[in-house]
Amino acid sequence: MTVSSSTPTARPSGEYRPSKAMGSTADLLDTRVGVAKAVKFIGRKIFPEHWSFLLGEIALWSFVVLILTGIFLTMFFDPSMAHTTYPEDAMPATHQGMEMSVAYESTVLMSWEVKGGLLMRQMHHWAALLFVAAIVVHMFRIFFTGAFRKPREINWLVGFTLLILSLLAGFSGYSLPDDVLSGNGLRIADGVAKSIPIIGSYVSYGLFGGEFPGEHIIPRLFTVHILLIPAAIVALVTVHLILMVVHKHTQYPGVGRTDNNVVGYPAFPVYAAKMAGFFLIVFGFIALMGATMSINNVWNYGPYDPSPVSAGAQPDWYMLFLEGALRLMPGWEVVIAGYTLSLNILIPGVIVPGLLFTFLAVYPFLEAAATKDQREHHVLDRPRNVPVRTALGVAYLGAFGVTVLAGANDLIATHFELSINDITWFFRIAFFVLPVVLFIATKRICLGLQRRDRELALHGHETGRVVQLPDGAFMEVHKPLTDEERWLLVAHEAQRPIEVGPATDRRGVDRPGYRADRIRHRISRFFYEDRVEPVTPAELAAAAHHGHGPETDGHPEEPHEIHGGSMEVTRPEAAADEQVEQPPSGGSIATLARGEKG
Amino acid sequence: MKALAASRRSRFAPALLVLLALILTGAMYAAFAPQPAEAAAGDATEDVEAGQELFRTNCATCHGLNGEGTDVAPSLIGVGAASVDFQMATGRMPMRNNSPQAEAGPPQFDAEQISQVAAYVASLGPGPAIPSEEMVDPATGDPANGLALFRTNCAMCHNAVGAGGALSEGKHAPALWDSTPTEIYEAMLTGPQSMPVFNEANISPEGKRDVIAYLMEVREPTPGGVSLGSLGPVSEGLWVWIIGIGGLIGAAIWIGAKSS
Amino acid sequence: MSTEQHVAPAEAQEPELFENPGTEEHRERLGDVDPRYAKANERLIALILAVSALASIGSIVAYVALPLEDLWSVRNSTLFLGLGLGIGMLGIGVAAIHWAKTLMSNVEYVEERHPQRSDDEPRAVAADMMKHGVEDSGIGRRPLLKGAALGAVALAPLPYVVPLVANLGGDWNVGAFRHTLWGETPEEYSGRLPDGSLGRRLARDPEDTPIRATDVTNGSVFHVIPHGLNEHEHFYEEKAKAVVLMVRLDPDLLHEPEEKADWSYNGIVAYSKICTHVGCPVALYEQQTHHLLCPCHQSTFDMTDQAKVVFGPAKRPLPQLPIAVDDEGYLVARADFDEPIGPSYWERLQ
């Protein structure tokens, strides 16, 4: 049985007449709202299969769990900062008779006196950590496979916004119990707010409705956390999914998969079952985590009071990058005309994250500027085939990782018996050095993998069997690739740096747009100058001819590499490291010199 | 002869030689090393004398012949029996190696010897005494007041439930999971190394007992499952990535895999 | 490319790029070929669903049967309710996935993609519609209306936004940051200084009991609040500004400028406990180095030298509380801090 090449719609059989209960329900709906059209659109829609397409679903289902467990919590949580005294006869013993806010008391009572309350609280918190983690993993899958390219740039921005919203949801959520740990986090937020130039003290006063801590912040965060942010997330997730359905899902390169089709399984029943199943698996997994792993035991910290603080004072993991940035920054503060500018807070808290997040948001457009390719892309990239993008992503993760680890520097110090001061200095330097190192290393690794792919495509698999030819020479037998295997190695297109038009037109008048063209040329060169192009049929035929066929090819050919904007190709006989100098910049026209030694 | 010559050139020969040398050295040390002086238990004067002997042998090099202190170690005049009991019972003293701070470990002397040294040091000058059983009994302490005192005075170094924390330059406030009530009392009272002194006017004896009651209370298992070290959000974040994301990616791989 | 030299001229020219071989052959699963395997899978799925059902019921049984009396019962209740919920959900999920993988048809289909860009005809119609709509509205011929509409629309949200934002700050008394309770000296919480003035007594945190100078021995650290704080109406707000850390050092170690010589007492110094970085309580006092370490971002202050910063992201030293002893031997504050405590803000020095 071969793959069906037509869309699996209902078998053509004339007008559909409903007969049983389900049929009459369908008829009821269709005659009132025309559901048949919707069913036709989505019912047997094809979605491609790969495990990495499920990462966004982890986030989606975690969000559903957050809503469901959150509803439970709202039934027992009281977001009031009014003062109260903990009952003398309630658990835990360490809290009996203690002064605290109503919000904190309701949290602790919910955990100790409501059956399933602690379970729900723990599930909610684990789900929150998982939600953000899944968004990050999903986002980087999108990044490394180039799924943000046209037509999905808008969806990338929607997803980016969802990331920011998830951070805000988490921050507002874990601050609600009003305990010492999250309360100190709010104090830090207040300090950061105060550092904003000109309006800082007003932002602080406005947020807290007075001096810190005031009586308004918890109820305000409650509204943000259960109404404003979830509404925004639900709206954006809906847009996100609609766009995914309208664009159809991307697919990995493979035989039969092109930019003009999608190969996979139909929505109903396969993906309906898989999505429902994965939802239940995520739910169940979170429930098991909530049942067996303690998280956020606020009674260990006690109700918020401005005086105590615990060692190991960190926010939840997804805020650690800010925490680490604050820890790494040296104490720079300037006074301008009697006014204080706290660079030691603004740089790590506002400027650096602002730059990094902006880079992430605009990346699709940055990369699009590097190529003249305006087509839609639905086949994903293998990360090795886009070395600069992959290297940028790894470098970015390196910088992010340094700040996250820096946020945990005191735990690293105690666990590895190091000096916290040394760790801080190490990370200060690593923040700048590590991304550069990672960029260079990753790019080289990708190019190396591509060269290996070329080898494989040209010569087939090494079998390790060595045969002796009649003339006495020894050759290793290579097993030729199947069509499927070869396709995977050669399916991608070669990306070349875009050319720059002349600086002036024929009459010597400066050409408008030349400046922009030059910038685009530079960006393009940054991305595509160093590259390894995929094997072409001509090269494969030549390899077969040159080496008496792929089976008996003894010595590897020099890989065909291109360095520089002009098309100088290193020939097999040439020295391995011969490289061509880039023609002096200044708007020279780079020509494709096929068949020429440039 | 050939066999011996051959084995001399064996690649294991150097390792074997080193092993033999070590065994020989160890045996010689065991045979000839001086034993710590042992004194019979006696009355207070005898204790002080015995303690002085032990002190001269094991402590005077750093702390001075009469406990007056040297460049490398502080004076012990006035530190009291409580100080000595704490430092020696937790194995911190005699200090084992050069590290940012003296680390706890197996005690190097038995209880009798420690009380003798303590008696001697106490005789050098008045200082805090070893607390009585009643003073450190957690059953009579109030864990709620203990929480209030602990979180204001102690949690910033030792962590909210005593899981330990970092200080500057490689020092750390140790975890308190294994500390005995007496050790906790003595540490508060005497302020060992970086730890400040919490004298009886700062935290009263009842307050100290409440702190002990609190610390015993938090040793109970956490109601929500495994405690993950009680280290806070960082460890929670670590485990959500390892178990949560790791496990669910595993599930995703299973879901996406073709069935046979 | 140079490979042309290797291609024999008689050979047919190769295409420029490889062609997609087309989707692979469909491979049957064991269950498709042999109904016994399918049946076995079906039974497995049913078994998993049965386990799930049992777990869900077990959870309800646990809910009813397990009371919340002590630590262990809370632990068990959480565990069993969660296991029941978790296995109940997981079971159905695993069963559904296994069903999809083994029993549902695994024939792959190919669906055509259509470009996102609309065809020329709908684009032309859409453009035309917009053009007609704009013409019908008449806005093109009435620039005055354009400006007026924009102006009015820009202002219209203000009656909603302004009250919302302006009320958030209550009385907007940001000047309140500058003053702490140490500057207030009600009789019952203060002591009399030699010059006759009153000073707010220093009290232990959290008990609020006044501290005598003789209580503070060398190497001690006291966490301090203004006496009477516990009775204050705005307890948290005042505490958030007024908390102080007090230590006693050997006076020989103290570096004090002349004008602040009477801010300490016999080696007893008191500094604001609110970090000048972003406001955490700076509380880790290292007795031997006399350094005060903030646990949040590791700002380190030297208590022997005006609490100046020796490491970390803070810039300014901790404000010092000037202290003295009153006529009954209790420590009192001579005056409030001479600068706003805590993190910097724009108009701090004004």
For B194-245, the pLDDT digits (tens) are 999 999 999 999 999 999 999 999 999 999 999 998 999 999 999 999 999 9
Whether the link from the prior residue into C206 is cis, omega within 30° of 0, is yes
Please tell me the distance from the alpha carbon of residue A323 to that of residue A348, in angstroms, as a whole number.
Answer: 9
- Does A590 have pLDDT greater than 80? no
Provide the residue type at B152 as one letter: T
Chains that touch B (3 or more CB pairs under 8 A): A, C
The per-residue pLDDT for B128 is 92
The verdict on C291 touching A (C-beta cutoff 8 Å) is: no
| Alpha-carbon distance values, A315 to A297, A323, C103 (Å) | 14, 8, 46
- Put simply, the chain A residues between 264 and 303 with a CB less than 8 A from any chain B CB are 274, 277-278, 281-282, 285-286, 289-297, 300-302
How many angstroms separate the most distant Cα atoms in chain A? Answer: 98
pTM, rounded to two decimals = 0.89
Interface probe, candidates A91, A293, A318, chain B, greatest B C-beta count within 10 A: A293
H or E element at residue C325: strand C323-325
The per-residue pLDDT for A510 is 83
pLDDT confidence tier of residue A586, bands split at 50, 70 and 90:
very low
Provide the residue type at C284 as one letter: L
C68, C102, C136: which is the final residue of a domain?
A: C102
- Tokens 């005294």 locate to A85
Beta-carbon pairs below 8 A across chains B and C: 91
The per-residue pLDDT for A9 is 53
Q: Which of B166, B244, B252 sits opposite A55 (nearest CB)?
A: B252
Six-digit token pair at A407? 């946020």
Whether the link from the prior residue into B94 is cis, omega within 30° of 0, is yes
**Percentage with pLDDT > 90 across chain C:** 81
- Does A550 have pLDDT greater than 70? no
Please tell me the distance from the alpha carbon of residue A364 to that of residue A371, in angstroms, as a whole number.
Answer: 11
pLDDT in tens, A354-386: 999 999 999 999 999 888 888 999 999 999 999
| Minimum Cα–Cα distance from A189: chain C residue | C278
- Does A564 have pLDDT greater than 80? no
Q: Which residues of C touch A123 (CB under 8 A)?
A: 82
Are C223 and B152 an interchain contact pair (Cβ–Cβ within 8 Å)?
A: yes
The C-alpha angle A319, A325, A331, rounded to 5 degrees, equals 140
Q: Give the residue numbers spanning the domain of C90.
A: 30-102
The per-residue pLDDT for B232 is 92
Are residues C181 and C77 part of one domain?
A: no
CB burial of residue C160 (10 Å; 0-12, 13-18, 19+): exposed
Are A302 and B151 an interchain contact pair (Cβ–Cβ within 8 Å)?
A: yes
Are C71 and B260 an interchain contact pair (Cβ–Cβ within 8 Å)?
A: no
Interface probe, candidates C13, C23, C284, chain A, greatest A C-beta count within 10 A: C23
- Does A548 have pLDDT greater than 60? no
Are B170 and A419 an interchain contact pair (Cβ–Cβ within 8 Å)?
A: yes
The per-residue pLDDT for B26 is 85
Distance from CA of C14 to the nearest CA of A (A): 5
| Minimum Cα–Cα distance from A266: chain C residue | C109
pLDDT in tens, C41-92: 999 999 999 999 999 999 999 999 999 999 999 999 999 999 999 999 999 9
Sequence-separated (6 or more) residues with CB below 8 Å from residue A353:
A321, A322, A325
Length of chain B (residues): 260
* Residue C56 within any structural domain of the chain: yes
pLDDT in tens, A258-294: 999 999 999 999 999 999 999 999 999 999 999 999 9
Least confident window among A401-405, A491-495, C12-16, C240-244: C12-16
Are B159 and A312 an interchain contact pair (Cβ–Cβ within 8 Å)?
A: yes
| Minimum Cα–Cα distance from C224: chain B residue | B152
| Residue (of A430, A417, A300, A370) closest to A146 by Cα position | A370
Q: Write down the domain spans for chain B.
A: 37-130, 131-221
pLDDT confidence tier of residue A567, bands split at 50, 70 and 90:
very low
Beta-carbon pairs below 8 A across chains A and C: 396
Whether the link from the prior residue into A269 is cis, omega within 30° of 0, is yes
Are residues C300 and C205 part of one domain?
A: yes
Asked if residues A186 and A172 have their Cβ atoms less than 8 Å apart, the reply is no
Sequence-separated (6 or more) residues with CB below 8 Å from residue C158:
none
Chains that touch A (3 or more CB pairs under 8 A): B, C
pLDDT in tens, A470-496: 999 998 999 989 988 999 999 898 888
The per-residue pLDDT for A429 is 97
Higher pLDDT, C139 or A584: C139
Asked if residues B76 and B121 have their Cβ atoms less than 8 Å apart, the reply is yes
pLDDT confidence tier of residue C137, bands split at 50, 70 and 90:
confident
Distance from CA of B236 to the nearest CA of A (A): 7
Sequence-separated (6 or more) residues with CB below 8 Å from residue C39:
none
What is the mean predicted confidence (pLDDT) over C285-306? Answer: 95
The total domain count for chain C is: 2
The per-residue pLDDT for A574 is 39
The per-residue pLDDT for A15 is 67
- Put simply, the chain C residues between 188 and 247 with a CB less than 8 A from any chain A CB are 205-206, 223, 225, 234-237, 239-241, 243
pLDDT in tens, A68-107: 999 999 999 999 999 999 999 999 999 999 999 999 999 9
Are B156 and C75 an interchain contact pair (Cβ–Cβ within 8 Å)?
A: no
Q: Which CATH number goes with the domain that contains C256?
A: 2.102.10.10
Are A126 and B253 an interchain contact pair (Cβ–Cβ within 8 Å)?
A: no
Q: Which of A260, A287, A560 sits opposite C85 (nearest CB)?
A: A287
Class of CATH domain B131-221: mainly alpha
Please tell me the distance from the alpha carbon of residue B135 to that of residue B212, in angstroms, as a whole number.
Answer: 10
Are residues C185 and C279 part of one domain?
A: yes
| Alpha-carbon distance values, A507 to A431, A502, C296 (Å) | 51, 12, 66
| Residue (of A539, A591, A586) closest to A561 by Cα position | A539
Chains that touch C (3 or more CB pairs under 8 A): A, B
DSSP character for C281? B
Please tell me the distance from the alpha carbon of residue A324 to that of residue A433, in angstroms, as a whole number.
Answer: 16
Higher pLDDT, A53 or A572: A53
The verdict on C317 touching A (C-beta cutoff 8 Å) is: no
Six-digit token pair at A535? 């094997």
| Minimum Cα–Cα distance from A274: chain B residue | B255
The per-residue pLDDT for A542 is 86
The verdict on C86 touching A (C-beta cutoff 8 Å) is: yes
* Residue C36 within any structural domain of the chain: yes
The per-residue pLDDT for B45 is 81
Provide the residue type at A319 as one letter: M
Q: Which of B221, B225, B260 sits opposite C30 (nearest CB)?
A: B260
Residue B28 CB coordination number (10 Å):
10
| Minimum Cα–Cα distance from B231: chain A residue | A312
Please tell me the distance from the alpha carbon of residue A179 to that of residue B69, in angstroms, as a whole number.
Answer: 45
Strand partners, C201: C332
Higher pLDDT, A572 or C249: C249
* Residue C287 within any structural domain of the chain: yes
Please tell me the distance from the alpha carbon of residue A309 to that of residue C185, in angstroms, as a whole number.
Answer: 28
The verdict on C172 touching A (C-beta cutoff 8 Å) is: yes
Asked if residues A590 and A568 have their Cβ atoms less than 8 Å apart, the reply is no
The verdict on A76 touching C (C-beta cutoff 8 Å) is: no
Distance from CA of A243 to the nearest CA of B (A): 22
pLDDT confidence tier of residue C220, bands split at 50, 70 and 90:
very high
Please tell me the distance from the alpha carbon of residue A188 to that of residue A544, in angstroms, as a whole number.
Answer: 67
Are residues C190 and C324 part of one domain?
A: yes
The per-residue pLDDT for C33 is 87
Please tell me the distance from the alpha carbon of residue B52 to that of residue C193, in angstroms, as a whole number.
Answer: 49
Provide the residue type at C10 as one letter: A
Interface probe, candidates C75, C99, C296, C302, chain B, greatest B C-beta count within 10 A: C75
Are residues C205 and C61 part of one domain?
A: no
Distance from CA of A112 to the nearest CA of C (A): 7
With an 8 Å Cβ cutoff, the interface of chain B facing chain C consists of: 148-149, 152-153, 156-157, 165, 167-169, 171, 191, 193-199, 201-202, 220-225, 254-255, 257-260
- The alpha-helical segments, DSSP class H, found in A48-116 are 55-74, 102-113
Least confident window among A188-197, A511-520, B139-148, C240-249: A511-520
pLDDT in tens, C159-173: 999 999 999 999 999
Asked if residues C338 and C319 have their Cβ atoms less than 8 Å apart, the reply is yes
Please tell me the distance from the alpha carbon of residue B94 to that of residue B102, in angstroms, as a whole number.
Answer: 9
The per-residue pLDDT for B35 is 54
pLDDT confidence tier of residue C324, bands split at 50, 70 and 90:
very high
Provide the residue type at A309 as one letter: V
Q: Which residues of A touch B149 (CB under 8 A)?
A: none
The verdict on A126 touching B (C-beta cutoff 8 Å) is: yes
The whole-chain average pLDDT of chain A stands at 88
Are C296 and A188 an interchain contact pair (Cβ–Cβ within 8 Å)?
A: yes
ipTM: 0.92
- Tokens 């030792």 locate to B158
Crossing angle between the packed helical segments A55-74 and A117-145, to the nearest 10 degrees: 150
What is the mean predicted confidence (pLDDT) over A2-29? Answer: 67
The per-residue pLDDT for C65 is 95
The per-residue pLDDT for B7 is 65
Distance from CA of B22 to the nearest CA of A (A): 29
Q: Which residues of B138-175 are buried (b: 16+ CB within 10 A; e: fewer)?
A: beebbbbbbbbbbbbbbbbbbbbbbbbbbbbbbbbbbb
Three-state SS for A266-314 is EHHHHHHHHHHHHHHHHHHHHHHHHHHECCCCHHHCCECCCCCCCCCCC
Q: Which residues of B touch C205 (CB under 8 A)?
A: 152
Are A316 and B233 an interchain contact pair (Cβ–Cβ within 8 Å)?
A: yes
Q: Write down the domain spans for chain A.
A: 77-113, 319-461+533-538
**Percentage with pLDDT > 70 across chain C:** 96
The per-residue pLDDT for A578 is 40
With an 8 Å Cβ cutoff, the interface of chain C facing chain B consists of: 29-31, 71-72, 74-75, 78-79, 97, 101-102, 106, 204-206, 212, 214-223, 247, 281, 283-289, 291, 293, 295, 298, 300, 311
The verdict on A436 touching B (C-beta cutoff 8 Å) is: no
Topology at the third CATH level for domain B37-130: Cytochrome Bc1 Complex; Chain D, domain 2 (1.10.760)
Provide the residue type at A337 as one letter: A
Please tell me the distance from the alpha carbon of residue A485 to that of residue A381, in angstroms, as a whole number.
Answer: 16
pLDDT in tens, A162-220: 999 999 999 999 999 999 999 999 999 999 999 999 999 999 999 999 999 999 999 99
Q: Which of C75, C102, C298 sits opposite B259 (nearest CB)?
A: C102
Are A420 and B249 an interchain contact pair (Cβ–Cβ within 8 Å)?
A: no
Six-digit token pair at C95? 């069963």
